[in-house]
A = this chain, B = another copy of it.
Amino acid sequence: MPPRRTRPTLKDLAKRLGISESAASFALNGRPGVSEQTRKRVLALAEELQWSPHHAARTLSGITSMTVGFVLTRDVQEFGMETFYLRLLTGAQSVLSDRGYGLLFQMTHSVDEELAVLRRWSEERRVEGVIISDLRRGDPRPAYLRDLGLPAVLVGGPDPRKLIPGVTVDDGAAIRLLVEHLRDTGHRRLAYVSGPADLLHVHRRIIAFRRAADGIMAEPGVIGTDYSDEQGRAAAQRLVRAADPPDAVVFDNEVLAVAGVRTLNGAGLSVPADISVVSCEDSAICMALQPALTAVQRDPTVFGETVAQKLLRLVHNEPEPVVEAQQPTIAIRESTRQR
């Protein structure tokens, strides 16, 4: 943590250069209305004082955007099914609004588009910091954000290269809880219908599954999906048709689990009489289903609150307290039973 220093105000800057505040502001904002010579002097002083664009934005006449951004690359149609992000947004937003901050939300179709949004938000000083999610292997965003000088917190970290901080979820622990429960209840042929393996949190879950289920894995043991209802159904079909079908299936979230249960039922398999089913994400839908689904319980609202608190501390250069990671627990319901 660098030592905190008093940041010069726009007034200080203008006074030191013998120009008006408005001229200094225009120069820093790259707007017309000041001479090229003045602009150069202002920018040189700004550089000398080691103002990052971010710090400049926050301290210019004390005007700040009082906004943090959240950009998410997802398919719009599929997205509305999951309550995870809504609850995350709700939690983040409650912390932010207590501090007078707004939350700027944007969905994009690709990581490239996401980078363009981050650049625009940073250049136009629309946000003081951002929340990013769904880190992929070789993800360009952490380095890009560091270069922009934009404070950022990663949802579901950690960033392997440690370029930006994350609020960590122990994905391995969640999977281990489910597999241990299935092992303890006598299941011996486990399968895992996962999300896309290029997402780092999915990658970590797959590794944890293979380790925890060592010796009791079905064939196929892991089937990847894009989290869509369609691929959830296709994965369940593959498992039903396998030479030696599983006696328990772990689904990566509740959307896949619902699609899976329907498909299993359609193929004449009863849950939990013939096959057990568990979900790696809990939500109202898991409780409403009959049988109600055994699931990993984490509160995305609390998670969102922690993310927002961490980001505001970064933005305001406040010391980081020791944060205890939310430990997952398991809700054992009707979809699993002793074999």
In the complex, which residues of chain B have a beta carbon less than 8 angstroms from the beta carbon of A290? 289-290
In the complex, which residues of chain B have a beta carbon less than 8 angstroms from the beta carbon of A323? none
Assembly CA distance A102 to B79 (angstroms): 18
In the complex, which residues of chain B have a beta carbon less than 8 angstroms from the beta carbon of A79? 86, 90
Assembly CA distance A121 to B25 (angstroms): 22
- The secondary-structure label for the interface of chain A is helix
Q: Fill in one digit per residue for A159-203: 1 if any B CB lies within 8 Å of its CB, else 0.
A: 000000000000000000000000000000000000000000000
Assembly CA distance A20 to B61 (angstroms): 19
Please tell me if the beta carbons of A126 and B105 are within 8 angstroms of each other in the complex.
Answer: no
Q: Fill in one digit per residue for A80-99: 1 if any B CB lies within 8 Å of its CB, else 0.
A: 11010111011101101100
From B83, B91, B121, B255, A76 is in contact (CB under 8 Å) with B91
Assembly CA distance A23 to B284 (angstroms): 56
Assembly CA distance A262 to B292 (angstroms): 11
Task: Report the minimal beta-carbon distance from A113 to chain B, rounded to whole angstroms.
Answer: 9
Comparing A28-36, A133-141, A311-319, the segment that makes contact with chain B is: A28-36
Task: Report the minimal beta-carbon distance from A148 to chain B, rounded to whole angstroms.
Answer: 16
A240-290 residues at the B interface, CB under 8 angstroms: 255, 258, 261-262, 284-285, 287-290
In the complex, which residues of chain B have a beta carbon less than 8 angstroms from the beta carbon of A76? 90-91, 94, 301
Q: Does A50 touch B at the CB level, under 8 Å? A: no
Task: Report the minimal beta-carbon distance from A76 to chain B, rounded to whole angstroms.
Answer: 5
Chain B's closest residue to A113 (CB) is: B97
In the complex, which residues of chain B have a beta carbon less than 8 angstroms from the beta carbon of A91? 76
Please tell me if the beta carbons of B102 and A103 are within 8 angstroms of each other in the complex.
Answer: no
Chain B's closest residue to A94 (CB) is: B76
Q: Does A237 touch B at the CB level, under 8 Å? A: no
From B34, B93, B262, A105 is in contact (CB under 8 Å) with B93
In the complex, which residues of chain B have a beta carbon less than 8 angstroms from the beta carbon of A285? 284-285, 288
Please tell me if the beta carbons of A284 and B301 are within 8 angstroms of each other in the complex.
Answer: no
Task: Report the minimal beta-carbon distance from A172 to chain B, rounded to whole angstroms.
Answer: 25
In the complex, which residues of chain B have a beta carbon less than 8 angstroms from the beta carbon of A107? 90, 93-94, 97
In the complex, which residues of chain B have a beta carbon less than 8 angstroms from the beta carbon of A69? 102
Of all A-B residue pairs in the complex, the 5 with the closest CB atoms, nearest first, are A80-B87, A22-B22, A86-B86, A21-B33, A22-B33
